[in-house]
Amino acid sequence: YGGLSYGNVASQSNSQQSSNPKEAALQGLAKMKALMDMGFQQGVLAPQERPDVAALRRLGFAGSDAQVIQQAAKEAMPLLVASCSASSMWVANAATVSPSADTADGRVHFTAANLNCKYHRSIEHPTTSRVLGAMFADQQHFAHHAALPAVAQFGDEGAANHTRFCRTYGEAGVEFFVFGRSAFDTRFPAPQKYPARQTLEASQAVARLHGLREEGVVYAQQNPSVIDQGVFHNDVIAVGNGEVLFYHEDAFLDTDRMLAELSSKLAKVGGKFQSVCVPRSAVTVDDAVRSYLFNSQLLSRPDGSMLLIVPEECRGNERVWQYLQSLTGSGGVIGEVKVFDLKQSMQNGGGPACLRLRVALNETELAAVNPGVIMTAPLYDSLTQWVERHYRDRMTENDLADPQLLLECRAALDELTQILKLGAVYPFQIN
C-alpha cells in the first residue's frame, strides 16, 4: 500500500504495508457475484496498465521501458509508486453518469473524472474514457465527454460525490451534486486540514455538459469539518438510492434547506423523498470513517425496501454494528444489511461504494451495451481464473521496481481485452 491519498485515513494508515492484489480482485468479484445472484445487473470496468510508463516518460525518464522503471526506482521512488497505483479499482471515481431520462438529448451521458487533486489518480482518465467508450459505444444511446480541465478550480472526483434520486430508474429524477469548496466564490467555507477534492464549479460544469434541467439538479456543500476528519468524498458520509438518502447528521452544511429542495424537486417528478439521518450520538464521524458505514451500497429490493451492503469493518465496530441492528429492526425503509469481506479494498482506502458506478439504463440502452462486459456466471468464472493466473498474491514497494511486473500486467490485459471484447483500449508502448 502506497498511502498516496492525503486525507484518506485508511489509505494513509496502511502505508508501506504489503498488499495482496489477487485477494483484492477476488474479493471484489465475489461481491459482484453475490449481487448478481440477487438479481442486480452489473458490468465490469477493466483495470489499467501499471506501472504507467508513459506517465513516467512525461516526467523525464527515458530509455527502454525497463530502463524507465529502473531509473525512476533509483532516482524518484515516490513517482514510481504513484505510477503503479491500483486506484482505478475505485469505479465510483471513474466518471459521473446521467441517465437518458434526465438529459436534454435523451442519451446517457458520461464524463470521466479528472481526479486532479492527486497525481496518482490524475493519470487515470484517458484510459478510463477509452474503456467506457468501448463499453458504451453506440452513439445513438451514449454520449461521452472528456474530463474537465485538469486544474484545481475544476477538481472532479466522479460519482463519489454524485447521487441520483428517482421514483423509478427509467423516469426523470433529481441529480444530487455534493462539493467540498467553491473555486471562485469566497462565501463558501473550506476545510483547513485536508483538501476539498470536488469543487462546485466542476459539478456545475458536468451538469451543463449532460444537459440537465435546473429543476432536476440540487447542489449541496459537504461539511468542511468532516473533510478535515477524513471524509474525503461524500460517499464516506452519505449514500443515496431511489427515493432514499442515508446520511450522517454532520455530513452537510445547511442540511434542512438541502433536504427541503430535494423533497420539493423530487415531488415534481412524482417521487416521495425519504431521508435517514444517523445521529452523531449513535455513530461518530470517526466511527463512520473507520468502519466505512456510509461507503456502502444501497440497493432496491422488489418489496420496495432497501438492502445495505457494508464491509466487514462495520461488524467490527461495536457502535456501528449496534446502530445497524437497531436500524434494520425499526421497520424503516432500510430492511436488511449484508456484510462482505473487502479487507484488501478497505486497507487501500475504499469500500463497497467505491467498487460501483451506477449506470441507469432502459432495456433498449442495456441491449446496446457491449455484451462482453455484462457480468454473468460464465464471465465470473472466466475472470476468477484470469485473476488466479495473472495476479500476484503479495506486493511490496520493492516489487514495483521489477520491470517484469509491467510485462505481467500487459500479458494480463491483452487476455482481458479478449475476455471482455474491448478491442484496443490499451496503448502499450513495448520496447
Of 115, 95, 113, the closest CA to residue 5 belongs to 115
Q: Where are the domains of the chain?
A: 9-50+85-390
| Band of pLDDT at residue 12, cut at 50, 70 and 90 | low
Pick the CATH number of 9-50+85-390 from 3.20.20.10, 3.20.20.150, 3.75.10.20, 3.40.50.300: 3.75.10.20
CB 197 within 8 A of CB 232: yes
| Residue pLDDT, tens place only, 18-70 | 889 999 999 999 999 999 999 999 999 999 999 999 999 999 999 999 999 99
Q: Read off the pLDDT of each residue in 187-201 and give the average, rounded to a whole number.
A: 95
Element counts in the chain: helices (H) and strands (E)? 17, 12
Determine the 3-state secondary structure of 369 from DSSP: coil
Q: Give the model's pLDDT for residue 8.
A: 59
pLDDT of residue 1: 76
pLDDT given for residue 353 in this prediction: 86
d(CA 232, CA 353): 13
Residue 184, pLDDT score: 96
Across 254-279, average pLDDT: 98
Q: State how far the Cα of 384 lies from the Cα of 310, in Å rounded to an integer.
A: 22
Name the burial class of residue 92, with classes exposed (0-12), middle (13-18) and buried (19+) by CB atoms within 10 angstroms of its CB: buried
pLDDT of residue 300: 96
Q: What is the DSSP letter of 148?
A: P
Q: Which residues are catalytically annotated?
A: 157, 233, 354
Q: How confident is the model at residue 13 (pLDDT cuts 50, 70, 90)?
A: low
* Percent of the chain topping pLDDT 90: 90
**Is 80 exceeded by the pLDDT of residue 347?**
yes
- Report whether 215 contacts 268 (CB < 8 A): yes
The rounded Cα 410 to chain-centroid distance in angstroms is 24
Q: Note the pLDDT tens digit of each residue in 284-308.
A: 999 999 999 999 999 999 888 999 9
For the chain, the residue count is 431
More confident residue, 12 or 399: 399
pLDDT of 183 strictly over 80: yes
Q: Percent of the chain having pLDDT more than 70?
A: 96
Whether pLDDT at 431 is above 60: no
Average per-residue pLDDT in the chain? 94
Sign of the Cα torsion 419, 420, 422, 426 reads negative
Write out the three cell numbers for 381: 468464472
Residue 4: per-residue pLDDT? 66
pTM of the entire structure? 0.95
Angle at 15 between CA 190 and CA 28, to 5 degrees: 90
Interatomic CA distance for residues 105 and 108, integer angstroms: 9
The rounded distance, in Å, linking the Cα atoms of 203 and 7 is 21
- In this prediction, residue 10 carries a pLDDT of 58
Q: What is the mean pLDDT of residues 343-371?
A: 92
Work out the end-to-end distance of the chain between its first and last CA atoms, rounded to an integer number of angstroms.
28
